[in-house]
Amino acid sequence: MGGPGGLERWWREDAAMAGRRGALIVLEGVDRAGKSTQSRKLVDALCAEGHRAELLRFPERSTEIGKLLGSYLEKKSEVEDHSVHLLFSANRWEHVPLMKEKLSQGVTLVVDRYAFSGVAFTSAKELQLAEAAVRGEFGRERYESGPFQQRALQRFQQLLADPSLPWKTVNASRSIEDVHREIRALSEDAIRAAAHRPLGQLWT
């Protein structure tokens, strides 16, 4: 363990052994904002720095519930609006035991969408205005139309206004590397802060 990098890594391993939990880092935003690219890059960077970090995404389409969601999103099936909202929610809940276990073991979870997408997308839908536009978009997934995304963005902005949620806004219309640098710095702060804070709930 020669240089300062080695020392840093040793300190992190020591911190993990001291029972510090991992951070829950959620990337939210409209479709095509670059969340998946950034989540992958973030996990790679955190791991390279010696953190324990893993990637999750919602919807997680591999489970039974996730398959129903995938088929709905790809417009291969119809699901009643309230029911599909609950399926998205169930798809998160089915992963909660695993997520709690990882976090308490000191693993930082980088999550590509979470409950905020659930709120933003369902409530954007409740505005009803998008139906024609959504149907008009052939070959693409449900919700992936300009007007629908605009309303989802409005909903995200309303959620951001809640001061009890520790959101940071990142301007995604820059280069992948610039966005990555900012997300990485914010994540390192979040990991440090989480280590001293017990695991709580998003909404109680």
118 contributes a contact to ligand NYM by CB under 6 A: yes
Residues 34-53 binding ligand NYM (CB under 6 A) are none
31 contributes a contact to ligand NYM by CB under 6 A: yes
Residue 88 contact partner, candidates Mg ion, ligand NYM, none, CB within 5 to 8 A by sort of partner: ligand NYM
> How many residues of this chain bind ligand NYM (CB under 6 A)?
10
Contact with ligand NYM (CB under 6 A): which of 113, 151, 155, 180?
113
Q: What is the 3-state secondary structure (H, E, C) of 57-120?
A: ECCCCCCHHHHHHHHHHCCCCCCCHHHHHHHHHHHHHCCHHHHHHHHHCCCEEEEECCHHHHHH
Q: Judging by beta carbons within 10 Å of its beta carbon (0-12, 13-18, 19+), is residue 81 exposed, middle or buried?
A: exposed
Stretch of residues binding Mg ion (CB under 5 A), selected from 27-35, 58-66, 113-121, 165-173: 27-35
Residues 56-85 binding ligand NYM (CB under 6 A) are 58-59, 73
121 contributes a contact to ligand NYM by CB under 6 A: yes
29 contributes a contact to ligand NYM by CB under 6 A: no
Report which secondary-structure segment, H or E, holds 146: helix 146-160
94 contributes a contact to ligand NYM by CB under 6 A: no
Q: Residue 73 or 172: which CB sits closer to ligand NYM?
A: 73
Residues 128-147 binding ligand NYM (CB under 6 A) are 143
Question: String of b and e for 128-153 (b: at least 16 CB within 10 Å)?
Answer: eebeeebeebeeeebbebeebbebbe
**Minimal CA–CA distance to 69: which of 39, 113, 34?**
113
Instruction: Give the angle 83-87-91 at the CA atoms, nearest 5°.
Output: 170
Contact with Mg ion (CB under 5 A): which of 9, 12, 15, 31?
31
The answer to whether 33 touches 156, Cβ cutoff 8 Å, is no
Residue 118 contact partner, candidates Mg ion, ligand NYM, none, CB within 5 to 8 A by sort of partner: ligand NYM
CA–CA separation, 16 vs 55, rounded Å? 18
156 contributes a contact to ligand NYM by CB under 6 A: no
26 contributes a contact to ligand NYM by CB under 6 A: no
Report which secondary-structure segment, H or E, holds 124: helix 115-126
* Interacting residues toward ligand NYM by CB under 6 A: 31, 58-59, 73, 88, 113, 117-118, 121, 143
* Interacting residues toward Mg ion by CB under 5 A: 31
